[in-house]
């Protein structure tokens, strides 16, 4: 299950506006292989899961990928170079209700910008 924070939605909207000039195109969360996730540019497909912000689709996820994700959150890290999208994965241990969070950057396949990476679980 993927959660997207308000700040991440704002950044996704900004990236979509500044990087995509193709009508109907959206940012897509993609499986980059070897347990890594990234962002790409694509159009919506019938079974996609859609993340909206201010009434507009800003992120699409293939339904099979969406259903295979652990509890992860797409958020923003403030870096000296500006905001960076990151995925935080909550790991819950058998004896604990509270999990430890680990943030990883998510790489983008969009031109000129590296966003961030994450391991994913099936």
Average pLDDT estimate for 6-19 = 92
The first and second tokens of residue 117, run together, are 């990476």
Q: Answer whether 0.85 is exceeded by the pTM.
A: no
Indicate the pairing of strand 82-91 with strand 72-79: antiparallel
HEC profile for 57-106?
Answer: EEEEECHHHHHHCCCEEEEEEEECCEEEEEEEEEECCCCCCCCEEEEEEE
Domains, the chain, with CATH or none: 2-105 (2.60.300.12)
| pLDDT tens profile 55-105 | 989 999 999 998 888 888 999 998 999 888 888 876 443 322 333 344 455
State which H helix or E strand residue 16 sits in.
helix 6-19
Q: Each residue of 13-45: pLDDT tens digit? A: 999 988 888 888 999 999 888 878 889 999 999
Q: Is the pLDDT of residue 120 over 90?
A: no
């Amino acid at each position: 299950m993927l959660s997207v924070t308000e700040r991440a939605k704002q950044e996704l909207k900004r990236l979509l506006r500044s990087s995509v000039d193709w009508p109907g195109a959206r940012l897509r969360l993609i499986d980059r292989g070897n347990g890594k996730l990234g962002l790409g540019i694509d159009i919506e497909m019938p079974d996609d899961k859609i993340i909206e912000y201010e009434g507009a689709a800003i992120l699409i996820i293939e339904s099979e990928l969406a259903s295979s994700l652990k509890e992860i959150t797409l958020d923003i890290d403030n870096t000296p170079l500006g905001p960076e999208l990151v995925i935080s994965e909550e790991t819950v241990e058998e004896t604990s209700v509270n999990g430890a969070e680990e943030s990883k950057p998510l790489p983008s396949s969009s031109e000129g910008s590296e966003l961030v990476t994450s391991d994913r679980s099936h």
